[in-house]
Structure 1
């Protein structure tokens, strides 16, 4: 039905497909991923920022003056957030509140290839990965005042909707996000808040880093547990808070 796509056609502002990206999982979620080999994407409505999914949360006014919700379209999108930032205090505190987080490293290309289904006839409508841009609330409001629903829907493609899901406010720019996005173009996941995709962690993840706030004993215990559950990536502990004592003169 469609010409054979390349992954580049599904990338939004991706300049370097070999760019390393990172994600912090709670320990239990990471263990679950190791066992199920499933990567879970969630509806953007479950993200914290109320400005997420700002376009599909809008109301469309038809030529007849009727107000129409885009809720049914919004419900067909799912996403997962990654970051290009290797290490930060804020990310550990936000995504590892119980101080038992597990950070994994991969590349944009490895992650997307694990997710993208080349056998899917509707693949060009479904699978995207995008680098997040950070725009002021005023710029977002100006965009909404100018754009019409048909501007994004024209042609029946989904890339323009995907691009709106890669916009956040500058208050979040410390996250340096890259987003994996899925569009349920065939309505196969209706009423599901999450969708899962196969992910072979032995091929996708090339590094695992444990929360820097753990004690040495806690680190050794979680490292052993992760290995027992099939992790083959190198495992270390973040040294973010490890500072050598300096010797000074009397």
Structure 2
């Protein structure tokens, strides 16, 4: 494997995704997606802002050389890590678990409107190929980072720790994580506790950084929503009239793509064809 150094020319690639045309999905907060449509910008955030405190496991590691070289002491592995920003997508075709985790709908008993618009989500679909194509545009703008779209590996805690130990004691030593592949791997190893997410991560890895200066926690990237997104769909628990209103909002914001209807919460009337007579109730 030819390792790309962090300070090399900008690169982009997919990791552990053999089919670049597989659909991936993400549930955006309603207001944030509308902002993305209007501004043609999409935000990636630093892993330390996510709920899971172990999203970036290498940050939590100390190198201990006290038994190896006299006065070697300890050093944090974080000193070798370039700043990174990420956005989470999923190969999961849709589930009630993910829907309820990222979208809130509480219908008012009188108006039948969602009273929790602030936390309402919108499902967006795209493909890894389209994400990488967007990355080419970011590079054309004079990128200061590498783009990686990678499938998360879900592992036991002990396996994640062992992989980090093996890398630090390998040929490259801790500087393995000064390569694009190494830094990407450090953000694609996740506890199997979250395996249901079937996550694919869009990563932006900074090409230069200063240890004495904090990195921004958010990066905004230019996008063309109508090229990047293949479809959007609204929370299936919304009443029809409100879903129609949502679509009108997105059309006004400039979205011209497909709006699909999620029928997960649609009542279905079944007609059972009887082959024998039956008693009255």
CA distance in 2, matches of 1:3, 1:191: 20
Match for residue 240 of structure 2? 216
Match for residue 103 of structure 1? 123
Match for residue 109 of structure 2? none
Match for residue 152 of structure 2? 132
Match for residue 148 of structure 1? 168
Does the Cα contact within 8 Å between 2:123 and 2:233 map onto a contact in 1?
yes
Q: Does 1:27 align with 2:30?
A: yes
CA-to-partner distance for each residue in 1:125-162, whole Å, 9 max, x for gaps?
62111011111112123334444174352495221121
Q: 5+ residue gaps in structure 2?
A: 1-6, 105-115, 273-277
CA distance in 1, matches of 2:55, 2:152: 11
CA distance 1:178–1:39, change in 2 (3 Å): same
CA distance in 2, matches of 1:213, 1:73: 46
Secondary structure of 1:237's counterpart equals coil
One of 235, 251, 269 as aligned partner of 1:227 = 251
Does the Cα contact within 8 Å between 1:134 and 1:173 map onto a contact in 2?
yes
One of 64, 69, 75 as aligned partner of 1:61 = 64
Out of 43-52 and 28-37, give the one that drifted further.
43-52
TM-score scaled by length of structure 1? 0.87
Match for residue 87 of structure 2? 80
The equivalences for 1:13-52 within 5 A come to 13-52=16-55
Shift in Å, 1:217: 1.6
Q: 5+ residue gaps in structure 1?
A: none
One of 152, 170, 173 as aligned partner of 2:195 = 173
Does the Cα contact within 8 Å between 1:205 and 1:233 map onto a contact in 2?
yes
Output the aligned Cα RMSD. Answer: 2.7
CA-to-partner distance for each residue in 1:183-241, whole Å, 9 max, x for gaps?
11123995311001111001111111100111112111111111111111111331111
CA distance 1:14–1:151, change in 2 (3 Å): farther
Secondary structure of 1:87's counterpart equals coil
Match for residue 107 of structure 2? none
CA distance 1:73–1:43, change in 2 (3 Å): farther
TM-score scaled by length of structure 2? 0.78
Larger C-alpha radius of gyration, 1 or 2?
A: 2
CA distance in 2, matches of 1:69, 1:156: 14
Does the Cα contact within 8 Å between 1:126 and 1:184 map onto a contact in 2?
yes
